[in-house]
Amino acid sequence: MDTGIAGEVRVGKRDSYGGFLKTHFRDYGMLLSLLAIMAFFQVVTGGTLLKPLNLTNLVLQNSYIVIMALGMLLVIVSGHIDLSVGSIVGFIGGLAAVLMVKFNLHFIPTILVCLFVGGIIGAIQGYWVAFLKVPSFIVTLAGMLVFKGLQLSLLGGQSVGPFPPTFQKLSSGFIPDFVAGGAINVTALSLGVAVTAALVYLGYRTRVNQQKHAVETAPFGFFLFKYTLLAILLVGFSYLLATYRGLPNVLVIMFALVALYAFVTNRTTIGRRIYALGGNEKAAKLSGIKTERLTFLTFVNMGVLAALAGLIFAARLNTATPKAGLGFELDVIAACFIGGASAYGGVGKVTGAVIGAFVMGVMNNGMSILGIGIDYQQVIKGLVLLAAVTLDVYNKRK
Amino acid sequence: MTAILEMRGITKTFPGVNALDNVSLAVRAGEIHALVGENGAGKSTLMKVLSGVYPYGTYSGAIVFEGEERRFRGIADSEKLGIIIIHQELALVPLLSIAENIFLGNEQASYGIIDWSLAYARTRDLLERVGLKESPDTLVTDLGVGKQQLVEIAKALSKKVKLLILDEPTASLNEKDSDALLALLLQFKAQGISSILISHKLNEISKVADSITVLRDGSTVETLDCREEAVSEDRIIRGMVGRALEDRYPKRESHVGKTIFSVENWSAYHPVHADRQMVKDVSLHIRRGEIVGIAGLMGAGRTEFAMSLFGRTYGQRISGRVLLHGREIDVGTVSRAVANGIAYVTEDRKTYGLVLDEPIVRNVTLAHLEGVSKNLVIDEIQELAVANDYRSRLRIRSANVFQEAVNLSGGNQQKVVLSKWLFADPEILILDEPTRGIDVGAKYEIYTIVNNLAEAGKGILLISSEMPELLGMCDRIYVMNEGALIGEFSAAEASQEKIMQAIVKSGRR
């Protein structure tokens, strides 16, 4: 999922494995810890974790966290925080329910209205943070209370549902198989292979291009290892899904968004400017970057993504409940920090946030399978967050 | 006299770099010992070894203080023995009072309860010793930099200092405050306190130093004794750069053309106190290929003028006209000012110039990302080529362009900032104290870059508090005082005396 260049260019010495490992410890360490955690739960759950049914559930359960983590990463990189996303999820879910169930609005205009309202919420909070210069912690803490309250009042304290089946497809639907009838979903498998091939091709092309321009690249062994691992994971993942019901719609949405945001942060001017803004706001401003507008936009973006997550979550439960969204902001923020984002701004990667979200997700899922109570689950998750960030800080100080 | 401090064969390596290589330093009791060297020569590293920031075991060699070998595990150990370091970036808490700052971590307390009357009384004594006439309960944030420096020194005195280390103490002080500080050092010397003075201002060093140790590329070059005969600035420079620097300002044939840039009746008011006019009706012009200086004392309003001009980044109620090639241009936001050909190299490069945690390459292209992108997508290969080009043209010393700006020396950081603005390709470049805190060799390189820009037909506005720099570089010098331009001299008629006279006269009005 990494678009390649940024990750590989920053190498101290050409073809030095030790030196490369040192400088990229964080990038690969994260991925390896996720794999280790998955392997651990695969063993202790007696193979349940990677069963096709469970894997599909894992994706469905974590999609909204991943989607919000994309927006949160930008907010955190720009030097802010958004505590209101959980409440927005609940509020938008409630709004969608009221529109569809009480007013019988069709699901397409409902989705559009909800995304728009999410954007407006982000814009209001963003305006307060960017232009009125009220600390984001305060603004979004207020937003958290306000939208939680609006969610309750909208739903009248009751669950509202069920939704039209077409809307539920957003979350529980699967991409239809073009070659119907087989034991394996051919569409899912071939899409998985195609995406893998595209990623390997892009990575290879970037590498060749870099070498042509005498840019120092990762040692070839690493390159080979990284992409072999990537290929095994992606193809294996799509194979497992293919043996169940294929690709969930939500996985496709999520994958497209992750690719988009990875590209935006790594390769576009707006992404670059967000990093500069978070790294040194004054210098960014004096370099001609419209820092206020950029901050404002990161919050608008966050609002839209939180609204999307709200829709997906509501569709998954097939009802809007007064408790929906409760505490989601903590998982989302934790995902970003586990993924290596800096609390001081200016540092963080999309791939890191996604991996962070899956670390949380696999642990949630694995511990639930093992029947560990919600009490100890929280303790363990908290400790993992602390350990990941401590490692980060320690690693940086060296 | 015996040595109070001897550092023998200090070697300190960082991954890949030999920061200090077998450095020796001997400071006699009761002397002022100057430590000079280009940026990156290892002065700060050496002082960090001495003060215990790099604890025993992370370096090799021996530190002998007052006749005994010392193994400091941290700053607390060295402070206990009376070795106190005052860093260039002052370590005061702005919103605490002078008294609270002086006794921070060393509170006048018994069983955790602070005796404020004792603290205030002792603060008053200390302030008297350093000649600072302020009440002990004044907040540090309300003091100017010069006075803050004195508070730091008072804090050092409160800890029974035996060896005072000052890192660039006068870098941000005006002449009067600098002189007062140096006088204070001489007074301490009379009281038997030794000091190590790190400074780039060689005239100050020749004024007060008893001996001078020169570092170059992490090694001791020589120690000069100033007690028998005075050591000339040229002699010191030769040691620092390893060659005689014939002229501190590179020669330039000036080819001044027609007026390309002018500012008319520019005024700006204080951002908080709306009735305080900080820039008063300033009108000036710059010709093609001309280097124009603005002289003035600290706080004369030069930076405020430049920043209000550059995208209104300072002040409010700004009025006036800016013309480029005879046409009025919009400088209302930074991006429009840049688009219209103005660039401003800020005074404080770390706070306003660089994204310190980002690599050189990203800093270089930051102000002009359009130059390396197509449809918002950055071409990283092209970006890299641009950064490498500036790195070699401006001779930025770094392993490669992926090195983070924070790890560069001051001179190289300034070159990165300059690269950023050169890449934006402005017609008018405003330089605000471009060589502050930069060593002699790097200064020369920066001057050469500026001269080349003028040669290429750009207009340069050079704001500097170092008068020799203005006199050595400029075709024309404006003098500013209290927000207004009060004089203008051509290179031929300008002199340090005339400029000072103009300032003093206008102040008397």
One-character DSSP codes across B224-257? EETTTSPPPHHHHHHHHHSS--S-SS--------
SS3 state of residue B340: coil
Are the beta carbons of A288 and B377 separated by less than 8 Å?
A: no
Are the beta carbons of B311 and A268 separated by less than 8 Å?
A: no
Return d(Cα B257, Cα B459) in angstroms, integer: 10
Contact B462, B293 (CB under 8 A): yes
In this structure, are strands B163-167 and B113-114 parallel, antiparallel, or unpaired?
A: unpaired
Q: What was the pLDDT predicted at B308?
A: 93
Q: What is the CA radius of gyration of chain A?
A: 21
Distance of CA B243 to the CA centre of its chain: 24
Q: Which residues in chain A are contacts of B359 at CB distance < 8 A?
A: 10
* Segment B114-154, tens digit of pLDDT: 888 899 999 999 999 888 888 998 998 888 878 888 898 89
Distance from CA of A282 to the nearest CA of B (A): 5
Q: What was the pLDDT predicted at A8?
A: 36
In this structure, are strands B259-269 and B316-324 parallel, antiparallel, or unpaired?
A: antiparallel
State yes or no: pLDDT of A23 exceeds 80: no
Percent of chain B clearing pLDDT 90 (strictly above):
41
Are the beta carbons of B355 and A275 separated by less than 8 Å?
A: yes
Give me the mean pLDDT over the B26-38 stretch.
89
Q: What is the CA radius of gyration of chain B?
A: 24
Question: Dihedral of CA B349/B351/B356/B359: which sign?
Answer: negative
Q: Which residues in chain A are contacts of B377 at CB distance < 8 A?
A: 267-269
* Segment B145-185, tens digit of pLDDT: 788 888 988 988 888 889 999 988 877 677 788 888 899 89
Confidence of residue A9 (pLDDT cuts 50, 70, 90): very low
Locate A380 and state its tokens: 């363990």
Strand partners, B247: none
Are the beta carbons of B313 and A286 separated by less than 8 Å?
A: yes
A and B: number of Cβ contacts within 8 A? 94
* Segment B430-481, tens digit of pLDDT: 999 998 878 778 888 899 999 999 999 999 999 998 788 898 899 999 999 8
Give me the mean pLDDT over the B387-406 stretch.
89
Are the beta carbons of A213 and B367 separated by less than 8 Å?
A: no
What residues 248-267 of chain A have any CB closer than 8 A to a CB of chain B? Answer: 267
Q: What was the pLDDT predicted at A84?
A: 96
Of the listed ranges A310-324, B9-23, B363-377, B486-500, the least confidently predicted one is B9-23
Q: What was the pLDDT predicted at B244?
A: 56
* Segment A337-351, tens digit of pLDDT: 999 898 888 999 999
State yes or no: pLDDT of A300 exceeds 70: yes
Return d(Cα B346, Cα B463) in angstroms, integer: 10
Q: What was the pLDDT predicted at B509?
A: 45
Q: What was the pLDDT predicted at B280?
A: 92
Residue in chain A lying closest to B310 (CA): A286
Confidence of residue B240 (pLDDT cuts 50, 70, 90): confident
Q: What was the pLDDT predicted at A13?
A: 40
Return d(Cα A352, Cα A261) in angstroms, integer: 12
Give me the mean pLDDT over the A223-241 stretch.
87
Among the partner residues B334, B356, B362, nearest to A286 by beta-carbon distance: B334
Among the partner residues B355, B356, B378, nearest to A267 by beta-carbon distance: B378
Of the listed ranges A240-244, B12-16, B496-500, the least confidently predicted one is B12-16
Whether chain B has a CB inside 8 Å of the CB on A213: the answer is: yes
Strand partners, A316: none
* Segment B208-225, tens digit of pLDDT: 999 999 888 788 888 888
Q: What was the pLDDT predicted at A319?
A: 92
SS3 state of residue A143: helix
Are the beta carbons of B381 and A10 separated by less than 8 Å?
A: no
Confidence of residue A20 (pLDDT cuts 50, 70, 90): low
- Please report which residue ranges of B59-115 form alpha helices under DSSP H: 75-80, 98-102
Contacts with B389 (C-beta within 8 Å, 6 or more apart), sequence order = none
Is there a cis peptide before residue A162, judged by omega within 30 degrees of 0?
yes
- Please report which residue ranges of B5-141 form alpha helices under DSSP H: 43-51, 75-80, 98-102, 116-130
Most confident stretch, A300-314, B118-132, B345-359: A300-314
- Render A294-355 in DSSP notation, one character per residue: HHHHHHHHHHHHHHHHHHHHHHHHTSB-TTTTTTHHHHHHHHHHHTT--TTSS---HHHHHH
* Segment A253-271, tens digit of pLDDT: 999 999 999 999 999 999 9
- Helices and strands of chain A, counted as H and E runs: 17, 0
B294 backbone dihedrals φ, ψ, rounded to 5°: -120, 115
Strand partners, B224: B212
* Segment A369-386, tens digit of pLDDT: 999 988 999 899 899 889
Confidence of residue A29 (pLDDT cuts 50, 70, 90): confident
Locate A234 and state its tokens: 């992606």
Among the partner residues A209, A284, A347, nearest to B357 by beta-carbon distance: A347
Contact B22, B8 (CB under 8 A): no
Distance from CA of A369 to the nearest CA of B (A): 42
**Which of A208, A285, A286, A396 is the mutation pick for testing B, counting most B CBs within 10 A?**
A286
State yes or no: pLDDT of B507 exceeds 70: no
* Segment A120-143, tens digit of pLDDT: 999 999 999 999 999 999 999 999
In this structure, are strands B327-328 and B316-324 parallel, antiparallel, or unpaired?
A: antiparallel
Q: What was the pLDDT predicted at A59?
A: 87
Q: Which element (helix H / strand E) includes B463?
A: strand B459-463
Q: What was the pLDDT predicted at A17?
A: 66
Are the beta carbons of B381 and A272 separated by less than 8 Å?
A: no
Q: Is pTM, for the whole model, over 0.90?
A: no
Among the partner residues B337, B354, B359, nearest to A280 by beta-carbon distance: B354
Q: What was the pLDDT predicted at B296?
A: 84
Q: What was the pLDDT predicted at B180?
A: 86
State yes or no: pLDDT of B313 exceeds 60: yes
